Structure 1
Amino acid sequence: IIRTAPTQRFVDFYRSYYRPERATFIAVGDFDVDAMEAKVKAKFADWTNSHPNGPNPDLGTLAPREAESRIVVEPGVQSSVDLYWTRPADLRPDSVALRREDTIQSLGLAVLNRRLGELSRQDNPPFIDAGGGTGSFFQSLDFATISANFNPGGLARALETIEQEQRRLIQYGVSETELQREIANIRVRMENAVKAASTQPTPALAMNILGGVNENEVTTSPADNLARFNAAVEGLTPDMVKAELPKAFQGQGPLALVSTPQAIEGGEAEVTRILEASRAKPVEAPAVQAALVWPYTEFGTLGTASGQTAYAALGATVVNFPNGVRLTVKPTDFKDQEILVSVSTGNGQLGLPTDSYSPVSMAGNVFTAGGLGKLTADEVSRVLTGRIYSSGFSVTDETYRLSGSTRPEDLNLQLQVLTAYLTDPGLRAAPFEQIKAILPQVLEQQRATAMGAFGIDGAPLMAGGDRRVSMPTPAEINAMSITDVRAGVMAGLANGPIDIVVVGDTTVEDATKAVAATLAALPVRSATPAPLAGSDKRTFPAHNPTPIRITHNGKAEQAFGVVAWPTTDAMGDRREARLVSLMSEVLSLRVLEEIREKQALSYSPIASATASTTFDDYGYALVAAEVDISKLPDFYAAVDKIVASFADTPITADELTRARTPVIERLRRSQAGNPYWLGALSDLAKDPATEQRINGHIAMLEGFTLEDVQNAARTYLRPDKAWKLEVVAANP
């Protein structure tokens, strides 16, 4: 269809449907309404379309169906099962009464999803993850669904569990404790949205309005939403929820859809047999959960700040504590009710070997899922009902990093949560064993495409064989244990000063108090451990005239070509790295023009630059594209032509403007948000030169000349330094 699509079909469709009577204009932002209206009228008032308006599609009528099963076999796909119940679309106009029904159903479904989530995190779980919900399809039908992802061979347990949990919910409903937990969690998010309403991101608000237009719904404010929610749940009882829930699952079905990378023995008849056998089994009422208390409130003697330094140009303050804790605070007004927090310590991947895959690299996937020493992850969620906090964990090149997002009211709790994870992580076996079971399937799925295979095998090759950027082999996965992860992570978290960054709707005083009672109350921290021998070095591979070949397991015609050149690091003032980055933007313009526009080799070719802030002299520029295997030679020839053009075709002022302007605009937009500052300020406490690097970034970009960028291209994009790689099908 794509190869033979006739031009006239596109023209006719455009004339029939892209027309004023079908258009909605939405504008959100800081502007004068009358001036905006005048601009809209000036641009659109004379828009006419003399061609006939196209008819709306006939969506048909929902056909009657009994319970049935279907199987989709697709190599590399995640094994999953979905149960659907379908019914004719509810086309009643949006109203308070209708939204109340939706609210009650959503509370019951939230309980279902919490139960399914807890099942997925138990020992020997029946599935990887699962969830239920309701929806509509183009106003042609409504549906309820419950689905699960599972490992190969786990269809029966996954299908039985989700089917029986759905019936358990319908038959027994929800408990008062469960209901109030979900009410509290939804209410606190809505209350937070009301307080943050004046700083809603304009793109999100525009999309909210657009969604209302498309779904024939009234666009309402956060305050309206909260008022309606409170009215809907006032006096709400579990019996009332139990009475409403069956309406969500009314209709035809269940229709079972199984997606699998390999055929299922017995086919659809076997799926039906499993489903019918499960439906015949009675279900018991859910067990009552014990009451819990949050135990992480005391961490030692209250810390006292030993000094602080203000960086007025950044609007940031660094506060030092005697135990080695360094706090950087930047109060902002970008978004009301948002505070971002990061906590870093240790030496991260600098403490890991370069010649073998370390189980510590798996920690990011299982750390917070393992809960705390005194509470599982689900118990943490239950005991902190109605609070706004989060917890994330990663192992970066140079640190172990915890992170969270909260509001002013819960800043103290957020610091308690992160301190608890730092000092008493649970690191339980169940999440780790689950990841071990999932990972081989994930890797198989990724290898089903050329780009995915490059993501697995290309990264370590471009890092000179450094295994820290690789994925584990099946043998390495089998050999890993949670004991190995626990030992490595605990050793990493135990040593080194703690650097905290707090950015957002807070004050220096409030952030200092929260840290003083938590991380600053811990015992004195030791110095950061020295890197393992050789772990602070990384090298880019040498020039190779013939591309290195790696393979994928997907379709024979799929291929991926890569050409890369060594550049520089982003240490010190970062001038050269920023120049190379700008050069790569010009390179991207020429790549798009030659590879996509002129030769049509690939729709989405990539050109980028990467520079390390950890490893001296390590960085690279890259051009890559997914192409038909027959076009690989053309791709490499096109890259050679593009690179040669920098020698014989000078960069124009227009090219530099088109390359530089979006970069600066993206940077300016980023600097108007908390996430940028959370990362940018991470080194300020230990490297005051960070202030100049941040404040001088835009001026530096604006100061680069045509000659600077041209010289960078000639310096780094050298044919005698180019490294090439190709990804082709293992079975062509």
Structure 2
Amino acid sequence: MVRFPLFLSLLVSATFVWAQPVPKPKTSASKASSSALNLNLPIPVDPAVKVGKLPNGLTYYIRKNVEPKNRAELRLVIRAGSVLETDNQQGLAHFMEHMEFNGTKNFPKNELVNFLQTAGVRFGADLNAYTGFDETVYQLPVPTDSVKLFREAFQILEDWAHNATIDPTEVDKERGVVLEERRLGRGAGQRMRDQYFPALLNNSQYSKRLPIGTEQVLTTFRPETLREFYKDWYRPDLMAVIAVGDFDTKEVEGIIREKFSRIPVVKNPKPRTEYEIPAHKDTKVVIVTDPEQPNTVIQVIYKRPEIKEKNLNDLREGIKRGFFNTMLGNRIQELTQRSDPPFLGGYSNYSDFLGNLDAFTSIAVAKEGNVEKAIRAVLDENARVKQFGFTATELARAKQEFMTNVEQAYSERNKTRSANYVNEYVQNFTDKEPYTSIEFYYDFLKKVQDGIKLDEVNTLVDLFIHNDNRAVIVMAPEKDKAKLPTKEQILTYIDESGKGLTAYEDKTLSSPLIAKMPTGSPVVDAKKINDINVTEWKLKNGVRVILKPTDFKNDQILFSANSLGGTSLYDFKDFQSARFSSTLAAMGGTGEYSQIQLGKFLSGKQVSVYPYVGELSEGINGSAAPKDLETAFQLIYSYFTQPRKDADVVKGFLSNQRSGLQNQINTPTPAKVFQDTVAVTLGNNNPRRQPLKPDDLDKIDLDRALKIYEERFANGGDFTFFFVGNFKEEQLKPLVEKYLGGLPASDKTEKFKDLEIRAPKGQLSKTVYRGLDPKASVQLVYSGDITWSPETATQLDALGEVLEIKLLEKLREEEGGVYGVGASAAYAKYPVPRYTFRINFGCSPDNVEKLIAKTQELINDLKQKGALPADIAKFKAETRRETEVQLKDNQFWLGYLQNQYYNGDAPDEVLHEKEQLDKVTVESTKAAANQYFGSNYIRLVLMPEKKQ
């Protein structure tokens, strides 16, 4: 897998770039002063991490961590990536990553993947790797409750480090896979990036060494050239082994020393050049267009030398930058909530960049292609900070948000998952990023936060914004090329930004969320399901509440609610008003609070509540820290009983939506056209499955939408609420009775209306011809009715997994025709029990028919013989291992319980998984293949445009 830094992902995006969401944290900072601290001291490393170095130069990081239990996250990190390639090696750092899965000394050919799948480790989802400009990282999550398997995992890491076979036959087979991965990345973003990268990266080595490489090299390189890269850069002085998990630290250190000390020291190693991106005095302006670019994106990038955090003062400076980014992000987000927003999306942020640089980046997505208005709006906000600074109240909120996020991490320190730790140690090894304990950081923040004053945060803007080492990138649709401003005009917009500004006014509200507290109603019935520690309550007003207290997280309570009905109950003339009803209601805020004021009010609180209206149901989703649970209940009650109308915000939202939709019509991307075709086809051309168009928004009536919203949430007694997380029932009960028991309710119950939208019966084939690149997308869809039962669900899941295993073996490993392939079933009980089985992959247009034929051969083989016992065993192992972790996860339990009650299924069904898995056999997969790969078959293919 190729990995790009965050900045590059933003730059090549052909869709909207939105300002960062506002976090909602809380705490009161310590009164301790930073004056007593010696800020010149180095940042202390986390004492829980055992770091060592072998005589051959290999570094290792070991940390015991028991979440999740009986699991470990292992990494092999090579401080070498594509930037080190020679001209005739372009793409081989990434190719080498692929070859590590195609044969090593102890795991020939594909035995490595096969061995791990048998142990329940999924290829791609669990077992994976990525190659960047400066590093290559191999990811291996493994169980630790099997001593043999755990030791074998380290053997795999050692084999990757110096025992890759690089068999010429396997190299030639893998060429097709890597070329298909490269094909997937082609498109407008890639074409434009190829044009602006040399300017943005100032013709540095980074601009010439994209990890995916060149087609010429990938097609023609000799295996000896790949071995040369492996020999030069896969060496112990450039390697780190990272192990975090539920294991004995001394035992793991012994295994690492035993296995990795066997790697010999490289005599006269090739120097590892640290490439830089040279600074430049001028402003690089690049305007690029493409026929498949749907909107106009403007980026102003102020590059500066990378800030390396080494001592406590650097840590304090990083906190200041965090405050700055939060406050500026909030201001820019507010611009989208005007009646006439100046852009579709905007963003300004200071972060790391690439090589030796950081960058302050401002991005705007122009509305109706108005480059000047969009970029001036974002840059004016930067300039407003420069001229007037932030306000004291903004800084206070930013401090609250920052502190609460850290406070939450501190409270979860004994419940933090191993996967959350490993990246810190990867960054330490590859880029010398410091890692410290959350205990130290939390204490340090309490000591220094009060001492960070407004004026020192305000002065950061002078550090970030400057005229040298600046780049401006404009990406636009080809059809708008003649309308675009010149380079000189763009520079004028930038240099003249900030004229005629006034200071930002921080408008807040201090009223209570609920002016008149509700009159509650008590719990009148209670039932316990002991096997899964779930309690059911029935309130006097009819509300049903399902509770599962857990200790999986210290600072997390998740909740949801649902009621049947949704947009299905409304005629098509009200469809658009109904489908947008919850969105428009939430945009108004709630009670007396506008959306902006509500965000400010919730600063310092770890709480979120979102109402929704779907097709078959409506409800609430949300989360809260235990200390903010009453605020969450007040928000729930408020969203039910006092939605707020804000015509100006809605007007601006719909204006932006129209502009965005019009862009998609004017310059439809191949992927969007294909997705729309798939949706319309599977929806049997039903009016409710048509792509959203600008004139559909004209059918939205705000008053009607709010009326529909009120109707959907008028009867609280028809709702079931679910709470999962760190709470005690006796503490939750008064809040439930007061706020949920106070919801308006009646005895009336509703059900959804079956709109009779089904995938078409019989066989159907559609080919869409869109796109300039020689790439195709394939979706093969089977559908039909099912008998709803746990056994049906398990058999469908098994069928998807065993087919996907075989498709990867055949289409990827044998044919080299795809990079990835998916096969899975979706199934639902409502509106009627149905399944949809999809197979999808991308490939060369020349291979479409061959690969579809190979897929059908595999399906026919399953129908005739059933799945191989070995593949069934892999499915069972993967399912069992996944469930072990899920049973200790709040999010899993919330979704699971909601589904079980929604469908009327047994709440304790998850405890009987083994019984269902035992029913998966060769014969059952044969029967399932014959039943579910039936006569209802739809073939959908995206092909490039036919050349005239």
Question: TM-score under structure 1 normalisation?
Answer: 0.92
Matched, 1:309 2:527: yes
Call closer, same or farther: CA 1:467–1:9 in 2, change over 3 Å: farther
- In the other structure, the counterpart of 1:433 is 654
Map 1:192-203; keep pairs closer than 5 Å: 192-203=408-419
Equivalent residue for 2:228? 12
Quick check: 308-317 or 3-12, which moved more? 3-12
Task: Decide whether the 8 Å contact of 1:403 with 1:418 is kept in 2.
Answer: no
For 1:390, what is the secondary structure of its paired residue?
Answer: strand
Q: CA deviation at 1:441?
A: 5.4
Q: Write the mapping of 1:275-424 to structure 2, written as runs, cut at 5 A.
A: 275-278=494-497, 281-296=499-514, 298-352=516-570, 358-363=576-581, 365-424=583-642
Cα 1:52/1:247, change in 2 over 3 Å: same
Whole-Å separation in 1 of the counterparts to 2:384 and 2:375: 14
- Alpha-carbon distance in structure 2 between the residues aligned to 1:303 and 1:239: 52
Deviation at 1:497, TM superposition (A): 0.9
Q: Which amino acid aligns with 1:508?
A: E
Sort the Cα spacing of 1:638 and 1:481 in 2 relative to 1 into closer, same or farther, 3 A: farther
**In 1, Cα distance between equivalents of 2:644 and 2:663:** 25
Give the alignment partner of residue 738 of structure 2, picking from 517, 526, 535. 517
Counterpart of 1:480 in structure 2: which amino acid? I
Matched, 1:148 2:364: yes
Partners of 1:484 and 1:51 lie apart in 2 by 77
1:271 aligns with 2:490: yes
1:505 aligns to what? 726
**Paired residues for 1:183-222 under 5 Å:** 183-222=399-438
Q: What is the rounded CA distance, in whole Å, between the counterparts of 1:570 and 1:659 in structure 2?
A: 22
Partner residue of 2:827? Answer: 611
Provide the C-alpha distance between the structure 2 equivalents of 1:163 and 1:267, rounded to a whole number of angstroms: 18
Which of 374, 377, 394 is matched with 1:161 structurally? 377
SS in 2 for 1:624: strand
User: Which sits farther off after the overlay, 634-643 or 68-77?
Assistant: 68-77
Q: Deviations over 1:29-64 (max 9, x none)?
A: 221111121222233221236476343234245232
Q: Does the 8 A contact of 1:564 with 1:723 survive in 2? A: yes
Q: Contact (CA 8 Å) 2:386, 2:461: kept in 1 or not?
A: yes
The answer to whether the Cα contact below 8 Å between 2:808 and 2:821 also exists between their aligned partners in 1 is: yes
- Quick one: structure 1 residues 565 and 61, their matched pair in 2 at CA, closer, same or farther if it must change by over 3 Å? closer
Tell me, in whole angstroms, the C-alpha distance in 1 between the residues paired with 2:731 and 2:943: 56
Measured after TM superposition, the shift of residue 443 of structure 1 is: 4.3
Whether the aligned pair in 2 keeps the contact of 1:339 and 1:405 (CA below 8 Å) is: yes
Between stretches 253-262 and 195-204, larger displacement belongs to 253-262
1:485 Cα shift?
2.9
Q: Deviations over 1:159-215 (max 9, x none)?
A: 111112111112222211111111111112211211111101210122233233333
Change (3 A) 1:291 1:521: closer
Matched, 1:588 2:804: yes
Choose from 537, 540, 543 the match for 2:759: 540
The 2-side partners of 1:87 and 1:23 are apart by 29
Alignment partner of 2:349: what SS?
strand
Counterparts of 1:725 and 1:386, CA distance in 2: 49
Paired residues, number: 723
Partner secondary structure for residue 724 of structure 1: strand
Which string of whole-angstrom CA distances, capped at 9 and with x for unpartnered residues, describes residues 71-105 of structure 1?
Answer: 232323443222222223345x5110111122223
Pick closer, same or farther for the CA change 1:649–1:584 going to 2, 3 Å: same
5+ residue gaps, structure 1, are none
Deviations 1:9-45 (A, max 9, x none): 4332222222222122222222111112122223322
The aligned counterpart of 2:55 is: none
Partner of 1:82: 299
Contact 1:567 / 1:580 at 8 angstroms: preserved in 2?
no
Identity of aligned residues (%): 19
- 1:487 offset after TM fit, Å? 3.1
Q: Distance in 2 between matches of 1:251 and 1:47?
A: 50
Q: Distance in 1 between matches of 2:307 and 2:542?
A: 61
The answer as to 2:783 corresponding to 1:566 is yes
Instruction: Report the CA distance between 1:595 and its aligned residue.
Output: 1.8
For structure 1, which segment, 44-53 or 349-358, has the greater mean C-alpha deviation from structure 2 after superposition? 349-358
Unaligned runs of 5+ in 2: 1-213
* Pairwise CA distance, 1:575: 1.3
CA 383–142 in structure 1, closer or farther in 2 if over 3 Å, else same:
same
Shift of 1:614: 1.0
Provide the rounded CA distance (Å) in 2 between the counterparts of 1:468 and 1:667.
36
Please give the secondary structure, in 2, of the residue aligned with 1:343: strand
Measure how far apart 1:580 and its partner are: 1.5
Question: Cα 1:678–1:290, aligned 2, differ >3 Å: closer, same or farther?
Answer: closer
Label 1:715 to 1:105 Cα distance change in 2 as closer, same or farther (>3 A): closer
Match of 1:124, SS?
coil
Write the distance in 1 (CA, Å) between the matches of 2:823 and 2:355.
41
Deviates more, 1:343-352 or 1:108-117: 343-352
Residue 489 (str. 1) matches residue 736 (str. 2): no
Deviation, structure 1 residue 359? 3.6
- Aligned residue identity for 2:750: P
Corresponding residue SS for 1:521: coil
Cα deviations by residue, 1:520-542 (Å, 9 ceiling, x for unpaired): 1122234333433x42x343322
The answer on whether the counterparts of 2:508 and 2:600 sit within 8 Å (CA) in structure 1 is no
Residue 249 of structure 1 corresponds to which residue in structure 2? 465
Deviation at 1:301, TM superposition (A): 0.8
Counterpart amino acid of 1:225?
Y
Point out the more displaced range, 321-330 or 264-273: 264-273
Question: Retained in 1: the 8 A contact 2:297–2:363?
Answer: yes
Aligned counterparts of 1:223 and 1:145: Cα–Cα separation in 2 = 32
C-alpha separation in 2, matches of 1:71 and 1:193: 43
Displacement of 1:410 in angstroms is: 0.7
Contact 1:348 1:396 in 2 (8 A): yes
**Pick aligned residue for 2:886 from 632, 650, 670:** 670
Asked if the contact 1:548/1:725 (under 8 Å) is kept, the reply is yes
Secondary structure in 1 matching 2:780: strand
Query: In structure 1, what is the Cα distance between the partners aligned to 2:630 and 2:588?
Result: 22
Residue of structure 2 aligned with 1:31, choices 228, 235, 247: 247
| Alpha-carbon distance between aligned partners in 2 of 1:70 and 1:339, rounded to the nearest angstrom | 48
For 2:587 and 2:281, the matched residues in 1 are separated by 40
1:723 aligns with 2:938: yes
CA deviations 1:618-654 (Å, max 9, x no partner) are 1122222222223222232122211221244442211
Aligned to 1:306, the other structure's residue is in SS state strand
Q: 1:177 to 1:306 in 2, by over 3 A?
A: same
The aligned residue for residue 6 of structure 2 is none
Q: 3-state DSSP class of the match of 1:635?
A: helix
Q: State the Cα distance separating 1:65 from its structure 2 match.
A: 2.3
Partners of 1:352 and 1:468 within 8 A in 2: no
Alpha-carbon deviations, 1:687-706, whole Å to 9, x = none? 77422423223431243222
In the alignment, the residues of structure 2 paired with residue 680 and residue 696 of structure 1 have an alpha-carbon distance, to the nearest angstrom, of 14
- Give the drift of 1:730: 5.1
2:33 matched to which residue of 1?
none
Q: Deviations over 1:697-727 (max 9, x none)?
A: 3431243222111211122224x44222222
Aligned-pair CA distance for 1:150? 3.0
- RMSD of Structure 2 on Structure 1 (CA): 2.7
Q: Quick check: 341-350 or 351-360, which moved more?
A: 351-360
- Calculate the TM-score normalised by the size of structure 2: 0.72
For residues 359 and 600 of structure 1, the distance between their equivalents in structure 2, rounded to whole angstroms, comes to 48
Point out the more displaced range, 575-584 or 436-445: 436-445
